[in-house]
Structure 1
């Protein structure tokens, strides 16, 4: 069963996390806009407007912090519920298995499935998906601050959002291959540890206890090799996604529909510069 099927089975919690993430991106954007307008008020020597925008900024970032905490807690609940569903499904399959099917794998392998593999899913499955949702939300909110200038900005945002959703799929096959290798390496490590500990008495009597250290070190080296290979693939996916996200948020302020290009070329760009400053503040001072 794929991971998305488990998201469907926990759809209410999954939707809650998405909604909180989108709202939090909105608070973050509002904070950036407020900060930019407060700076403009200082430049215009308008004390009243300055304090109004500082108040809005403080409120926005307060809610941003509160919602961030709710997202963390909600994601933890979602993750643990998915973990429980996965473990329950594995347990059901084992309980329904016949004798020969069960003994096709060692108990250490099953232990690895229920522990190491779950941790991998949490980090690179659920964690990466939450990161993508957050980045798409941030791009969308950046566009909202600009969209009223021209409808084409919404079209541009839609295209960039689709790109953000597609790019991670380019690494799917590589990630699946590396993930399987990493899983098998963890299985070998757990099997090695179990075999060595089960045979401790024999090794002790043979004065060969050092074998435990050597074998475990060899197995750890195997896991290390595959873990690093998996991290490289995951890192390539994450950094490519981040690069696309940064490019998207840089493209929007330079869109041809910016007001200074739609209206009088000699007109003041103060309002537009405020919006660009807001996006810059939101993306770099958080």
Structure 2
């Protein structure tokens, strides 16, 4: 957290400055009360009037200082929270695809919401309270010495006892807060999972199970929170008892000193006032210190997200795809136990068209993801024009290709924004993408046209309409490599045929198509068909040659045709 506070050090300086002004004005009010009571007891009317006039000005300044201090504190907290959120989110976006998918997205959501909220409540707010009350305590101690040194010495003994409190509760509270953060993350993951499966829940009448599971997770979260709250309660109770002892010592000693004539009644009033400025600040300080200590695991988690660096892709060379993308003896497994790809070698030549076919689960999508830089932990080699992919800048490598998936994700924005993704394109480029994707007629019939909102993940559109938008999104960028991962499966056969045929006739495009559609008219247009079984490439060649060979692809093709 020190990193973020240093970023706002000038703002921090003025916040502390006005905190000091506000705190000191509050403390020195004890001297004002002493002077006032002594003037009343001495029946000194002129002194009384002077103190009243001064008090009006004094209290006005107190209010002004308190307002500015509060305003600056809130503004500084907002700036720090903004910086924490921005740097954490930036760190998350910096993750490679492989590392990002190792965690549930709800874990990232929990860090961005729950953890940052805990950070604000248990560190930032307590930090500025500790600063304020430390100034109040220090100034009050000076004023107490001004009133009477012996009373001050007795108070210091009580204070030394109070110094033990953070050590007693700090570590316990730190562990409890860490468990609470984990429980919140788990709860967020579950709720996201339940809401994402809302349709399944309704279709299969899972309401009773979902409510039961939700209740169990909710109970575990509350139990973790209460465990932390109990430690806080114990810390607050012990701190309160010790802080009251300070006021009791001041009250009885001061009363005794009045009886023996050591101090005046005004001094008693002033010391009672200032003793509360010793006890209450200490109470707040010792309540807040364990809270601040407890957020260390949470801060560490946020720092890890912020400071993420890839341990797999660290290349810096700009990728070039002017000739080939090649794989040599490529093997891969997600869990290191069950192989997904085994000893695959192939070459993708610039501007040629490839169809990757095979049964579901044979590794088609995994192969394409590896070729485009999604995963780094594989055996074998992947090269772009002879350069190993690990030596390349992975961000630029991913940017060489556009992928159209079967399940399209759309942002909750307009059709236009989902196509252009807030990048600039000419009207001619836009019209080309709309025509080639078959979107023009559909958009023409919408009241708001291309500016029509799509809803959350395209909830206001059909599956086919979403895929057309994804096709337009890819085509408008004219990247050298286009991947169709069942990318036209939800579109009617005629539109899908037109889109695929159009892409196959583009001379300046390298096309990789993963498909289950067995149309001989389309397959004949591909330069090479890659047939996969059980994570291996078993056949490669042109459509006519593979059919003549009458082997695995031929059997697969005819089985699909006869379905």
Contact 1:164 1:244 in 2 (8 A): yes
Q: Identify which of 76, 83, 89 aligns with 2:74.
A: 76
SS of equivalent to 1:115: helix
Instruction: Rate the CA distance shift 1:141–1:149 in 2: closer, same or farther, 3 A.
Output: same
Q: Displacement of 1:211 after TM fit?
A: 3.4
Instruction: Rate the CA distance shift 1:238–1:59 in 2: closer, same or farther, 3 A.
Output: farther
Alignment of 1:81-160 (within 5 A): 81-148=79-146
Q: Which residue of 1 aligns with 2:2?
A: 4
Q: Displacement of 1:189 after TM fit?
A: 1.3
Q: Which residue of 1 aligns with 2:263?
A: 269
- Quote the Cα distance in structure 1 between the aligned partners of 2:209 and 2:30: 60
Higher helix fraction (1 or 2)? 1
- Quote the Cα distance in structure 2 between the aligned partners of 1:36 and 1:118: 45
Q: Which residue of 2 aligns with 1:13?
A: 11
- Quote the Cα distance in structure 2 between the aligned partners of 1:249 and 1:14: 33
Q: Displacement of 1:154 after TM fit?
A: 9.1
- Quote the Cα distance in structure 1 between the aligned partners of 2:249 and 2:17: 26
Deviations 1:11-70 (A, max 9, x none): 222333322222212111222322232222222222222222233333333322222222
Q: Which runs of 5+ in 2 are unaligned?
A: 281-563
- Quote the Cα distance in structure 2 between the aligned partners of 1:85 and 1:165: 33
Q: Does 1:56 align with 2:54?
A: yes
| Greater RCO (CA < 8 Å, at least 6 residues apart) | 1
Q: Displacement of 1:180 after TM fit?
A: 1.3
Q: Identify which of 186, 189, 194 aligns with 2:187.
A: 189
Instruction: Rate the CA distance shift 1:214–1:152 in 2: closer, same or farther, 3 A.
Output: same
When normalised by structure 1's length, the TM-score is 0.79
Q: Displacement of 1:124 after TM fit?
A: 0.9
Q: Which residue of 2 aligns with 1:37?
A: 35
Q: Which residue of 1 aligns with 2:211?
A: 213
- Quote the Cα distance in structure 2 between the aligned partners of 1:134 and 1:61: 18
The answer to which of 219-228 and 45-54 deviates more is 45-54
Work out the number of aligned pairs and report it: 277
Q: Which runs of 5+ in 1 are unaligned?
A: none
Contact 1:28 1:60 in 2 (8 A): no
Please tell me the root mean square deviation across aligned C-alpha atoms, in Å. 3.5
Q: Displacement of 1:75 after TM fit?
A: 1.6
- Quote the Cα distance in structure 2 between the aligned partners of 1:155 and 1:281: 16
Contact 2:110 2:188 in 1 (8 A): yes
Instruction: Rate the CA distance shift 1:267–1:207 in 2: closer, same or farther, 3 A.
Output: closer
Q: Displacement of 1:267 after TM fit?
A: 4.3
Instruction: Rate the CA distance shift 1:108–1:63 in 2: closer, same or farther, 3 A.
Output: same
- Quote the Cα distance in structure 1 between the aligned partners of 2:49 and 2:141: 26
The answer to which of 102-111 and 3-12 deviates more is 3-12
When normalised by structure 2's length, the TM-score is 0.43
Contact 1:108 1:194 in 2 (8 A): yes
Q: Displacement of 1:212 after TM fit?
A: 3.5
Bigger radius of gyration: 2
Contact 1:200 1:209 in 2 (8 A): no
Higher strand fraction (1 or 2)? 2
Deviations 1:65-119 (A, max 9, x none): 2222222221211212221222222223222222222122111110010001111
Deviations 1:114-170 (A, max 9, x none): 001111111111122222222222221212223347889999999988987785355
Instruction: Rate the CA distance shift 1:250–1:105 in 2: closer, same or farther, 3 A.
Output: farther
